[in-house]
Amino acid sequence: MRYVIVSGGVLSGLGKGVTASSIGMLLKSLGYRVTAIKIDPYLNSDAGTMSPFEHGEVFVLDDGGEVDLDLGNYERFLDITLTRDNNLTTGKVYANVIEGERRGDYLGKTVQVVPHITNEIQDWMDRVASIPVDGNGDEPDVCIVELGGTVGDIESAPFVEALRQFQFRVGKENFVLVHVSLVPVVGVVGEQKTKPTQHTVKELRAAGLSPDFLVCRSEEPLEQATKDKLALFCHVPSSHILSAHDVSNLYRVPLLLEEQNTTAMVAEKLGLKMTDNRPQLDAWREMANHVDSLESEVTIAMVGKYTGLTDSYLSVIKALQHSAFKVGAKMNISWVDATGLEPESESKDPELYTKSWQDLKAADGVLVPGGFGNRGIEGMILAAQYARENHVPYLGVCLGLQVAVIEFTRNVLGKAGANSTEFDEDTPHPAVIFMPEGSRTHMGGTMRLGSRQTNIQTEDCAAVRLYDGATEIHERHRHRYEVNPDMISDLETAGLKFVGKDTEAQRMEIIELTGHKFFFGTQYHPEFKSRPNRPSPPFFGLVEAAFASQS
């Protein structure tokens, strides 16, 4: 097994995840099987209990793992399927060690960070790196390990030490360290500043790790003089100092690294065979060019909780973009704060109210994404009503499906006050209810999670067409509430069809509204399996219908 470690310095949010994914993609294009591990030095066991508004989206895997959004980047870039163990957290490491201590694994010994925690980390990497991820059951050849946070944080110290030891365990010829840093431009002269990078490399080297490559984030391409200076101070040859300057689209990142000979240099260090026959890379280049050439635009109103952090809905955004690229348009997401649509905001914040409704009406399609808690729910219900009544393409994901069902129950079935028991425990008409098997005491990992089968109920529906004629589909879930089975027959009689159900036909998975050009909802989260060249079918359905409705 070969390992490519990607660490980061200076500040977070430099695009370490994209760098890691890009390097993985480049090695994969040589014909090697590539997997990835993300290390998150926080104490949570997983991302399941973390707010997406603080930490970015919670990504969900087939096995039900609730993980860091970087695993989504790996899955999309490398077209692989990861497991919960591919996300290593401090919480998981300590839990294992403490459990082992209680079992008596360390009998007689004092259990310590070094060597017990650091050994656990190395054993974990060793074990998880060989889990097959590409569906063929073959062991990967290369494992990308991304170390979250920045080197020098107290939290990441045990991991840095574990990696230092790991280079000897696996052999230096199987170990490449890529350090991602920032090269800012300050002042009127516009000089590229190397000091922050010098400092972070110094810190890394003090910890016993010497980077093989520096990936420098900057606005403009790194100048030769900058590279030379970094080479001098950082103990890295200037050919191994890579410029990761701003590019027109994300797909350009691997190409940018490729142009700087990265693949050949990493391959050489790891003893991998270089080849010029790389159809995957060609396809990738084509995609990057296609994205840059797009002229028309399609606008989707995303009606959710307001967030300045687009990472909160990362996979949803990706799924929309993948779909737009396929119809041949740029994706323009119009963020509509759901609370702004609510009647109360007309007096409380008239400007927001007017803008929210204007934006909703100006869009070609409406999307209500997943969510928890009752803030903005009434606004989302109004958005669903607007889309239903005005024949505007609508996609509801998870909460978005539930909202559409509540709206329909209230306004078509005439059951005033219908709601989900999540938002109103005493609602006279519970259209959405708590699932019987859910836990009311434990929040972590207790939802209906991961991949489940949906059976399509009829040939005569959009779902069959979108899923290429498949009648059994597998998508990822993350919810506690479901459509109340007692309401199904009334809803269906009135035209809201449950065209997808689980294998026991107990859980409602897909809704479609008869007579509407595209009014679709899924209890699952289709965004998690979207790929650049294979957009998620429900998202594609929305974007296709929205684009078509322009003319």
Binding site for ligand GLN (CB under 6 A): 370-372, 398-399, 422, 478-481
Q: How far is the CB of 312 from ligand GLN (least distance, A)?
A: 12
Which CB sits closer to ligand GLN, 84 or 305? 305
In Å, what is the CA distance from 514 to each residue of 392, 402, 501?
Answer: 14, 17, 17
Q: How far is the CB of 479 from ligand GLN (least distance, A)?
A: 3
Q: How far is the CB of 81 from ligand GLN (least distance, A)?
A: 20
Q: Is 525 one of the annotated active-site residues of the chain?
A: yes
Neighbour-count burial of 106, counting CB atoms closer than 10 A to its CB (0-12 exposed, 13-18 middle, 19+ buried): middle
Which CB sits closer to ligand GLN, 20 or 380? 380
Which of 398, 477, 479, 512 is flagged as catalytic? 398
Which CB sits closer to ligand GLN, 8 or 396? 396
Q: Is 203 one of the annotated active-site residues of the chain?
A: no
Q: How far is the CB of 152 from ligand GLN (least distance, A)?
A: 36
Nearby residues of 396 by Cβ (< 8 Å), 6 or more positions away:
367, 368, 384, 402, 403, 404, 511, 520, 521, 522
Distance from C-alpha of 231 to C-alpha of 198, rounded to nearest angstrom: 10
Buried b (16+ CB within 10 A) or exposed e, 108-134: eeeeeeeebbbebbbebbeebbeeebe
Which CB sits closer to ligand GLN, 429 or 480? 480
Q: Is 99 one of the annotated active-site residues of the chain?
A: no
Nearby residues of 319 by Cβ (< 8 Å), 6 or more positions away:
526, 527, 530, 535, 536, 539
How many beta carbons lie within 10 A of that of residue 66, not counting itself? 23
- Sign of the CA dihedral running 23, 75, 315, 283: positive
Which of 342, 422, 527, 544 is flagged as catalytic? 527
Which CB sits closer to ligand GLN, 120 or 482? 482
Q: How far is the CB of 172 from ligand GLN (least distance, A)?
A: 45
Nearest to 87 by CA among 68, 72, 60, 74: 68
Distance from C-alpha of 427 to C-alpha of 405, rounded to nearest angstrom: 14
Which of 477, 479, 516, 525 is flagged as catalytic? 525
Give catalytic residue positions. 398, 525, 527
